[in-house]
Amino acid sequence: MRRPPLSERRFTSVAIEDAIRRVSAQIADPELALIFSNCLPNTLDTTVSPDSLDGKPDTFVITGDIDAMWLRDSSAQVWPYLAFCKEDPRLSILIEGVIRRQTRCILIDPYANAFLRTVDSKPLSWAVHDDTLMKPGVGERKWEIDSLCYIIRLAYGYWQATGSTAPFDAEWHEAARAIVHTFRQQQRKHGSGPYRFQRASPHPTDTLPLDGYGNPARSVGLIYSGFRPSDDACIFPLFIPSNLFAVASLRQLAVLADKVCHDSALANDCASLADEVAAALAQYGQVDTASHGRIWAYEVDGYGNTLRMDDANAPGLVSLEYLGCVTPSQSDLYRRSRAFALSVENPYFFHGTAADGVGGPHIGLGYIWPMSIMFRAFSSTDDREIFQCLRWLRNSTAATYFMHESFWKDDPARYTRPWFAWANTLFGELILKLAKEKPALLQVSSQSFGHSVSLS
């Protein structure tokens, strides 16, 4: 066991500890069981700071080795715990605190992706000199559509899992309107809008061209994004996976606006915007390929230029189904897009002696992100493929028994970020899913993890 001592853990959930014991007993391979036992509680063990503000729950969540709260990461880190909230009221309160903290973050600046513990905290070192409208409490101000989508997903998931409306007060209602307003601003129907960002950096992916507004694109109804969920700059500002995520999130927000806030005007606005973006995606968001047929593009500019690739971060092409962005009518389109992303036609798909998987420009060529292997497993119906993903994940921790941000395709000992809570918790979620739906895959002997599985 590599978890912190009990006295040093930031939060302990009885329901999660019970799940660790129950599911670990179902796993035949001791090493896989150990990784699961370490990873599932990692967010609770090491990254949450439960507190209260004005008598209401307030939870700050760091990513791991960076002392700041990303809207995306914090939402994803606690997501697997929603299923346990009814068993553990303390856990439910902790996640309510996350939602309340995210609400206040949006009201500080809906364009920011990361926030500090307090408005008096020192900015992140690499963001101090950014040329953008930095406000107190903001850690980094990279505009990413998915930041706002993730917090809607968490709020909707919390409401579904618990039935509680406690965090959905007037402040949350105001933040919900700010989200829709921001999405509409970034359709850029009436000029470039208020957001711009530039950074002096040797890495071109850290800044936006053309005075910080990004490369040109036609206003066709899609939402512009400065950056991808990797925090890398978009080449073409109409980022398709996040627009698909926005459609799904706006439909969820419409339900919350109607059922919880009793605001039919906001609900209608959400639904109308979702319909508009969905129509634009159908017209501008797809591209033809020689080997896979018609697929979702990664980025477009509305002028006919498209970028065909996928990145390990979510949302990306492979993770669309996991995030609930695929409607039944789009299932064939998604499957073709997924097949493209997991092929050599994707410039960021890497085949190595240690694993096959997707990386991205954020770390560089040849580095596979374990999250991409997890999203592949989540979206597979093939037991052989799922087991191969488990094998790759189990054998790529470099004896740390935790997931990492990325590892070199031929040598898992060359990895980045030993403490990356999102990847850890996501692995725990995958094992929970398999324990429920495909328990036989967890009962495979240790010897089998030494042999590769043919996926051809």
Least Cα distance to 198 among 253, 134, 149 occurs for 134
Return the structure tokens found at 148.
């706002």
Express each pLDDT in 57-116 by its tens digit: 999 999 999 999 999 999 999 999 999 999 999 999 999 999 999 999 999 999 999 999
pLDDT of residue 447: 79
- In the prediction, which pLDDT does 448 show? 81
CA quadruple 130, 133, 135, 139: dihedral sign:
negative
Tens of pLDDT along the chain (456 residues)? Answer: 589 999 999 999 999 999 999 999 999 999 999 999 999 999 999 999 999 999 999 999 999 999 999 999 999 999 999 999 999 999 999 999 999 999 999 999 999 999 999 999 988 999 999 999 999 999 999 999 999 999 999 999 999 999 999 999 999 999 999 999 999 999 999 999 999 999 999 999 999 999 999 999 999 999 999 999 999 999 999 999 999 999 999 999 999 999 999 999 999 999 999 999 999 999 999 999 999 999 999 999 999 999 999 999 999 999 999 999 999 999 999 999 999 999 999 999 999 999 999 999 999 999 999 999 999 999 999 999 999 999 999 999 999 999 999 999 999 999 999 999 999 999 999 999 999 999 999 999 887 887 777 775
Does residue 431 contact residue 40 with C-beta atoms inside 8 Å? yes
Q: What class does CATH assign to 66-347?
A: mainly alpha
**Residue 71: per-residue pLDDT:** 98
On the 0-12 / 13-18 / 19+ scale of CB atoms within 10 A, 9 is: middle
Domain residue extents for the chain: 1-46+348-456, 66-347
Tell me the backbone φ, ψ of residue 306, rounded to 5 degrees.
-135, 155
pLDDT at 456: 57
The predicted structure's pLDDT at residue 1: 55
In this structure, the chain runs to a length of 456
Sequence-distant (≥ 6) Cβ neighbours of residue 78 within 8 angstroms: 43, 48, 61, 94, 95, 98, 154, 425
Closest CA to 77 of 172, 164, 154: 154
In angstroms, rounded to a whole number, what is the distance separating the alpha carbons of residues 412 and 72?
26
Q: Cis omega (within 30 of 0) on the bond before 347?
A: no
Residue type, 337: S
What is the spatial distance between Cα 56 and Cα 94, in angstroms, rounded to a whole number?
10
